[in-house]
């Protein structure tokens, strides 16, 4: 029987070197393209998530709290894409922080919501489109303030330039006497279309990076259900999140529902009014009991209650479990939503008065600031989290080769 050829250590080394050189110099074969996978080093925040996930993977106490932990049990190592996916799957409900026996001051220093929040904020900037505008996330408080000031100035000056005054004889709610319909449609249409495009490009980059797999109807239905009901703000036991301490509360889930569905109703009001205008030739102002005004009023009230509640909870929340650097972004977005709702309701109340031009200019300025900052602020969390929920729903339906988790 032929014995394997044995080489001394230097001979082995030089043989390996020759082999490597030969591979490097070999002409690329067109028939066998090689795929080069670039391995990017983890950032400090990503390293921290990976470290904490290794501890959690050994502990598993929080497995039933949310989708993050079952997804974690499918992995033994955590690469960049895994960390980005898990960070966006976390709802920052706080349950695992308040339940954790290894949370600070323990030496392990496990604080999953804070570690996830830091990476999450970084992913918004990393996947932003155009990439240069990703920096706006990092100075979002300033961005929102400037956008608000610019929006208000734009519409107040426009109203003054067109009419010479912000005070006028009552116009029976005829907004178009102040700003023509086509002017408003062109300005808001352009800004909103850009916001949608920027968000779509950003989330597509995220989606590709996390290698999602094919989304079937059951996975889509589950993800939609989880997103629309905010399943994971129930703390995993149905009693809700933690805010300032260990007590559970459903307040955040309820205020979030008010905000989200209030926003959708306001959007529906605009969509119905657009349909009335273009499809039926029914022009504003609409009666108080018409569909656009009813939808806008109910939506505005819900949005006011929801955003005021979220702001109140945000101010009371245990700061240790979030990312302090993102507070201006969180609060700036909630404040813009609240201002949008309040200025819209004030406009409705004062539409038959001589202050309509000023009220309309303020409302349009706030809405313009909201639309312009949608792709570079807190609104992005809804888009990225929905994508992460869809990946989670897809992944659950794929075979788990490790078989260490409960899903
Ligand atoms: S957060 Fe703490 S308690 Fe929960 S799984 Fe991780 S280490 Fe365990
Ligand atoms: S904070 Fe809540 S959603 Fe985030 S990992 Fe912990 S339990 Fe899950």
On the question of a cis peptide bond just before residue 85, with omega within 30 degrees of 0, the verdict is no
d(CA 331, ligand 1 centre) in Å: 29
Test site for ligand 2: of 82, 227, 232, most ligand atoms within 8 A of the Cβ: 232
Whether the CB of 70 sits within 6 Å of ligand 2: no
d(CA 359, ligand 2 centre) in Å: 41
pLDDT of the residue at 30 = 47
Q: Whose CA is nearest to atom 4 of ligand 2?
A: 90
Cα–Cα distance between 309 and 313 in angstroms, integer? Answer: 6
Residue 329 located in a structural domain: yes
pLDDT in tens, 370-406: 999 999 999 999 999 999 999 999 999 988 776 666 5
Residue 228 located in a structural domain: no
pLDDT of the residue at 34 = 59
pLDDT of the residue at 407 = 54
pLDDT of the residue at 214 = 84
Residue 356 located in a structural domain: yes
Q: Average pLDDT of 313-329?
A: 91
Cα–Cα distance between 388 and 386 in angstroms, integer? Answer: 5
Residue 213 located in a structural domain: yes
Query: Residue 154 is part of which domain span?
Result: 132-218+233-383
d(CA 311, ligand 1 centre) in Å: 28
pLDDT in tens, 45-66: 999 999 999 999 999 999 999 9
Cα–Cα distance between 407 and 399 in angstroms, integer? Answer: 10
Test site for ligand 1: of 55, 57, 404, most ligand atoms within 8 A of the Cβ: 55
Residue 113 located in a structural domain: no
d(CA 122, ligand 2 centre) in Å: 18
Test site for ligand 2: of 67, 90, 233, most ligand atoms within 8 A of the Cβ: 90
Residue 73 located in a structural domain: no
Whether pLDDT at 349 is above 90: yes
Residue 260 located in a structural domain: yes
CATH assignment of the domain containing 320 = 1.20.950
Q: Average pLDDT of 244-253?
A: 93
For residue 191, report the phi and psi dihedrals to the nearest 5 degrees.
-70, -40
C-alpha dist (Å) from residue 109 to 43, 51, 66, 93, 353: 18, 10, 20, 18, 59
Whether the CB of 91 sits within 6 Å of ligand 2: yes
pTM, rounded to two decimals:
0.85
- Of ligand 1's listed atoms, the one at least distance from the Cα of 63 is 5
pLDDT in tens, 186-240: 999 999 999 999 999 999 999 999 877 788 999 999 999 999 999 999 888 889 9
**Residue 241 forms beta bridges with which residues?**
249
Report the number of distinct structural domains present in the chain: 1
- Using 50, 70 and 90 to split pLDDT, how confident is the model at 7? very low
Cα–Cα distance between 293 and 319 in angstroms, integer? Answer: 39
Whether pLDDT at 246 is above 60: yes
Residue 268 located in a structural domain: yes
Tell me the DSSP string of 322-390: S-GGGHHHHHHHHHHHHHHHHHHHHHHHTTTSTTHHHHHHHHHHHHHHHHHHGGGSTTHHHHHHHHHHH
pLDDT in tens, 120-155: 999 999 999 999 898 888 888 888 888 898 999 899
Q: Tell me how many degrees the CA angle 380-382-388 measures, rounded to the nearest 5.
A: 105
Cβ(329)–Cβ(141) under 8 Å? yes
């Amino acid at each position: 029987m032929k014995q394997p050829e044995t080489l001394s250590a230097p001979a082995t080394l030089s043989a390996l070197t020759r082999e490597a050189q030969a591979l490097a110099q070999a002409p690329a074969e067109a028939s066998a393209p090689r795929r080069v996978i670039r391995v990017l080093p983890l950032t400090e925040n990503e390293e921290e998530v990976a470290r904490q996930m290794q501890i959690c993977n050994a502990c598993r106490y929080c497995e039933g709290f949310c989708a993050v932990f079952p997804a974690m049990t499918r992995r033994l190592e955590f690469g960049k894409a895994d960390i980005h996916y898990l960070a966006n799957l976390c709802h920052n409900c706080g349950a695992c922080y308040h339940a954790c026996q290894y949370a600070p001051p323990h030496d392990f220093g496990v604080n999953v919501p804070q570690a996830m929040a830091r990476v999450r904020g970084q992913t918004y900037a990393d996947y932003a489109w155009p990439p240069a505008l990703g920096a706006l996330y990092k100075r979002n408080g300033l961005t929102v303030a400037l956008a608000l000031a610019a929006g208000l100035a734009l519409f107040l000056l426009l109203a003054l330039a067109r009419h010479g005054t912000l005070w006028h004889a009552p116009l029976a709610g005829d907004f178009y006497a102040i700003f023509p319909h086509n002017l408003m449609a062109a300005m808001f249409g352009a800004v909103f279309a850009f916001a949608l495009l920027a968000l779509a490009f950003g989330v597509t980059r995220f989606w590709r990076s996390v290698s999602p797999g094919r989304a079937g109807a059951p996975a889509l239905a589950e993800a939609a259900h989880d997103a629309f009901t905010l399943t994971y703000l129930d703390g995993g036991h149905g009693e809700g999140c933690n805010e300032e301490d260990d007590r559970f509360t459903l307040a955040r889930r309820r205020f979030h529902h008010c905000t989200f569905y209030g926003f959708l109703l306001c959007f529906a009001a605009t969509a119905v009014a657009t349909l009335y205008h273009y499809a039926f030739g029914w022009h504003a102002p609409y009666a108080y009991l018409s569909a656009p005004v009813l939808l806008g009023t109910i939506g505005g009230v819900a949005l006011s209650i929801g955003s005021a509640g979220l702001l109140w909870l945000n101010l009371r929340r245990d700061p240790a479990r979030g990312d302090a650097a993102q507070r201006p972004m969180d609060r700036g977005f909630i404040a813009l939503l609240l201002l949008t709702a309040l200025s819209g309701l004030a406009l409705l109340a004062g539409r038959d008065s001589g202050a309509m031009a000023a009220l309309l200019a303020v409302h349009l300025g706030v809405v313009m600031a909201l639309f312009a900052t949608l792709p570079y602020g807190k609104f992005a969390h809804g888009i990225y989290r929905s994508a992460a929920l869809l990946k989670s729903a897809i992944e659950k339906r794929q075979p788990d080769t490790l078989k260490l988790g409960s899903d």
